[in-house]
Structure 1
Amino acid sequence: ICLRINTEQLLPKEAAPPPPRPAALLRWDEVPEDFVECFILSGYRRLHCSAQECLASVLQPTNETLNFWTHFIPLLLFLSRFGRLLLLRGAGDVPFHHPALLPLWCYASGVLLTFAMSCTAHLFSCLSPRLRATFFYLDYASISYYGFASTVAYSYYLLPGLSLLDAGAMSHYVQHMACPIMLESLLFDLQTRNPTLFVYFYRRYFWLLVAAFFNVSKIPERIQPGLFDIVGHSHQLFHIFTFLSIYDQVHYVEDGLAQFLKAPLAAPTYLGTVGYMLLLTVCLAVVVRKKKKDTA
């Protein structure tokens, strides 16, 4: 009886590549000076990581991990909230393409873009110095976009209902003020007339002040350098309190929308909402492009 032996079974099989191991984290004196954060001594990812390594790092204890998650989780929450308002008819009986919802679309795009760009910048900041600068320029540009988008929502949903902008009610006051909602609460009884706007507006600015405090003071890592490198440093706290501020802002924008739908005072137009946002996007793109050239 002839036995036929498969020679392939006798040869050693090529070993499967081992799963990628997490790259060793670096100290502050092992990374470029531009990458060093004040009072953060360790937990830095190495420069020129691959995109795969950047993605894997969201599950590893680096000093950027919670910077990512403290904005990625809010991004998912706001996606759900705006999806309910705009796509699931949560804003009322109007369809998602109704002109009355155009300011909300602009506002939603600003909120979501801000959180998405923050996540992207923190996640891929170690690809290369040039890409790091580019991502953070886009992050800052998205904040400007969000600020203008908020103004669009305010101008339709909140400001028309203020006594401050009524020429008759303002006959004894100087008009064209810098902060209408704050002045409304000082000159008129906003707390009684619109308690939702009053409470959420002032609580939002309280969160912003707390966020600014942590961002500027670099507390707690300033007090004990090295102890809060991975968990609890100021930028993570800054992210948390900025999320709370926008969360409160969404509350009173949503309430303003509900009031607007009952008695719209001015019909939003594509030119006055989406048109302005597109123009701003072009301007911001020009600025970011110039900054990229200066960095190169």
Structure 2
Amino acid sequence: MATIVMESIGRVFISLQQIRGVPRMLTEAAPSMPGTVRDSEVPHYFRERYVCNGYRPLNQKWRYYFLSLFQRHNETINVWTHLLAFLAILVKFRQLAETVDFAGDPHSWPLLILFLSSLTYSAFSAVAHLLGGKSELFHYFFFFLDYVGVAQYQYGSAVVHFYYAVDESMHRLVNGIFMPAAAFFSCMSCLGCCYGKYCNHSLPTWVRKVCQVVPSAVAYMWDSSPVAKRLMLWSTSGDDPSLIYHFGQVAFFLSSAFFFSFPLLERCFPGRCNFVGQGHQVFHVFLSCCTLCQIHASHLDYVGRRELYSSLHGGGEAAVFVGLYAVTLAACMLIAAFMLRKARCVIEVEAKIK
């Protein structure tokens, strides 16, 4: 009996020794990360208003920026908010794929576009905030990619609203022009956002915000007009379960737009929102909630309004919208590539002057 007890104690002791060695093994596998720096130690185009600390140093190895996913810095929350949103949307897609025939039912393709565009924008945003601190050139590259994600998500929003949420009178009025206009506005939104970022060197902050906000606002008003009309007729809509979620997506989007445009919390508490509490973080949370409400509302419309949208949208129209989505995405990628080339020229000129 004593021998058994001693053997058990020995095994526990060995296990404790192994556990105590885990931190050392992790340290050897991933050397200590460089600390964050103040705003004065990074170029001005990396700085956020009223955020004084928590910036990652530039020109580190790629490994550092990937591992900074688990480090405390002023982009950590921005990365995780959209990373978690990506996972939530993916789980929702998996759930709906069990009941929705995305492959065989053309009427489900607009909903599929919304899923794809939502996953894309959340992934691109998470990557931009995670890796955009590598250098000035990669800052432009990843955030231009982020703006491509936003633009194609605007198209995804437009297609589900026009396909599932539009009523007969509005369909007669805008049929044939709604989706081409939505694609055009998406491209203009991408161009405005990229140009605003490109002008980091020369224009005041408010001018850059106008370049980014105005085209996106125009796109949003156009894309959401079918939903807006339905909400205005809420009292006569009867028992429509999707309307509460459409109202939710509008409320969340307007809230996110406010916090994107105005750094309210940072301004009220300057220097205290270096890690958490930034307006852009709140913007991410509200936009993610907007997307989840939008997906749920569009699914309810897909199920509950099938007779109406089947009569409004003829055969092959869903396939056309899928093709237009691909064209819009390609056009936005070309816009981002063009603006990246201009930004690279500016960087090279500044490097020669130095």
Report the TM range for the smaller structure's normalisation. 0.7 to 0.9
Displacement of 1:97: 3.6
> For residue 244 of structure 1, what is the aligned residue in structure 2?
289
Report the residue type matching 2:65 in the other structure. C
5+ long unaligned stretches in structure 1 = 1-15, 168-176
Cα distance change on mapping 1:191 and 1:225 into 2, 3 Å: farther
Report the residue type matching 1:259 in the other structure. G
| Match among 182, 190, 211 for residue 228 of structure 2 | 182
Displacement of 1:155: 2.3
1:43 aligned counterpart, secondary structure: coil
Alignment of 1:78-157 (within 5 A): 78-86=89-97, 88=98, 90-91=99-100, 94=101, 96-157=103-164
- Please tell me whether the aligned partners of residues 25 and 46 of structure 1 are also in contact (alpha carbons under 8 angstroms): yes
| Match among 238, 263, 283 for residue 218 of structure 1 | 263
Displacement of 1:257: 1.1
The yes-or-no answer on 1:165 pairing with 2:170 is yes
1:193 aligned counterpart, secondary structure: coil
Aligned partners of 1:184 and 1:95: how far apart in 2? 26
> For residue 255 of structure 1, what is the aligned residue in structure 2?
300
Displacement of 1:135: 0.8
Aligned partners of 1:163 and 1:269: how far apart in 2? 16
| Match among 44, 47, 51 for residue 55 of structure 2 | 44
Aligned partners of 2:61 and 2:320: how far apart in 1? 42
Name the % identity.
25
TM-score by length of 1: 0.82
Cα distance change on mapping 1:275 and 1:163 into 2, 3 Å: closer
Report the residue type matching 1:249 in the other structure. Q
- Please tell me whether the aligned partners of residues 256 and 284 of structure 2 are also in contact (alpha carbons under 8 angstroms): yes
Aligned partners of 1:25 and 1:62: how far apart in 2? 7
Cα distance change on mapping 1:191 and 1:122 into 2, 3 Å: farther
Larger deviation, residues 137-146 vs 177-186 = 177-186
> For residue 13 of structure 1, what is the aligned residue in structure 2?
none
> For residue 249 of structure 2, what is the aligned residue in structure 1?
204
2:95 aligned counterpart, secondary structure: helix
Displacement of 1:269: 4.4
- Please tell me whether the aligned partners of residues 184 and 190 of structure 1 are also in contact (alpha carbons under 8 angstroms): no
Larger deviation, residues 111-120 vs 201-210 = 201-210
2:267 aligned counterpart, secondary structure: coil
Larger deviation, residues 231-240 vs 269-278 = 269-278
Larger deviation, residues 263-272 vs 149-158 = 263-272
| Match among 51, 56, 60 for residue 67 of structure 2 | 56
Cα distance change on mapping 1:276 and 1:223 into 2, 3 Å: same
- Please tell me whether the aligned partners of residues 162 and 226 of structure 2 are also in contact (alpha carbons under 8 angstroms): no
The yes-or-no answer on 1:280 pairing with 2:285 is no
Question: How many residues were matched structurally?
Answer: 266
Give the alignment's Cα RMSD to 1 decimal: 2.3
Report the residue type matching 2:289 in the other structure. L
The yes-or-no answer on 1:33 pairing with 2:44 is yes
Cα distance change on mapping 1:20 and 1:190 into 2, 3 Å: farther
- Please tell me whether the aligned partners of residues 37 and 57 of structure 2 are also in contact (alpha carbons under 8 angstroms): yes
- Please tell me whether the aligned partners of residues 107 and 318 of structure 2 are also in contact (alpha carbons under 8 angstroms): no
TM-score by length of 2: 0.70
Cα distance change on mapping 1:47 and 1:189 into 2, 3 Å: closer
